[in-house]
């Protein structure tokens, strides 16, 4: 097995459906026989990323590549970009509007959670162009 790819279009218009891709990935990884811990780490990291894409970037694309030794999650959007990545990585820092907080997100925990649940996370972002995040969980 070289790799197995799962691709998702993330709808940026609909907060209600945000997270559907992550739930599907969770089911697929379970069917593939990964341990509950690995499945939780991948699905939580992806879920936070999906929510971020809907809140900040009007959606985007998500790819999950399953290799024999690792699972890679690639989230790419054409949103406004992140001007200061170090600041965005701080727990509690958020630019989410109040209406998002009333929905249970925007506590400034998204990016820190994504980093916490993965073995590696790289962020490439350009203001006005978009953001691509690549996360890896070793299996």
Residues in touch with other proteins (CB under 8 A): 15-20, 22-23, 26, 36, 40, 43-44, 47-48, 51, 101, 103-110, 112-113, 116
122-127 long-range Cβ contacts below 8 angstroms, 24+ apart: 123/82, 123/85, 125/81, 125/82, 125/85, 126/81, 127/80, 127/81, 127/82, 127/83
Residue 120 φ then ψ, to 5°: -150, 140
Q: Please identify, using beta-carbon distances, which residue of 15 and 124 lies nearer to other proteins.
A: 15
Nearer to other proteins, 94 or 131 (CB): 94
- For residues 2 and 98, which CB has a smaller minimum distance to other proteins in the complex? 98
20 vs 124, beta carbon nearer other proteins:
20
In the complex, what is the shortest distance from the CB of residue 129 to other proteins, in angstroms, rounded to a whole number?
26
- What's the CA gap between 24 and 132, in Å, rounded? 21
Give the shortest CB-46-to-other proteins separation in angstroms: 9
Q: How far apart are CA 131 and CA 128, in angstroms?
A: 9
CB-based contact 125:82 (threshold 8 Å): yes
Residue 20 Cβ vs other proteins, minimum distance, rounded to whole Å: 8
Closest separation in Å from C-beta 2 to other proteins: 28
Q: 65: exposed, middle or buried (C-beta count within 10 Å: 0-12, 13-18, 19+)?
A: middle
At its nearest, how many Å lie between other proteins and the CB of residue 45? 9
Cβ-based nearer residue to other proteins, 17 or 138:
17
């Amino acid at each position: 097995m070289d790799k197995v790819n799962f691709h998702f279009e993330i709808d940026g218009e609909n907060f209600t459906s945000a997270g559907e891709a992550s739930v599907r990935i969770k089911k697929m990884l379970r069917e593939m026989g990964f341990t509950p811990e690995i499945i939780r780490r991948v699905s939580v990291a992806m879920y936070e990323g999906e929510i971020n894409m809907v809140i900040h970037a009007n959606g985007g694309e998500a790819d999950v590549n399953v290799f024999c030794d690792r699972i890679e999650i690639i989230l790419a959007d054409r949103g406004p970009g992140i001007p200061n990545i170090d600041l965005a990585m701080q727990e509690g820092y958020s630019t989410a509007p109040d209406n998002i907080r009333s929905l249970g997100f925007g506590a400034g925990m998204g990016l820190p959670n994504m980093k916490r649940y993965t073995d590696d996370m790289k962020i490439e972002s350009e203001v006005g162009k978009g953001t691509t995040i690549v996360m890896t969980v070793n299996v």
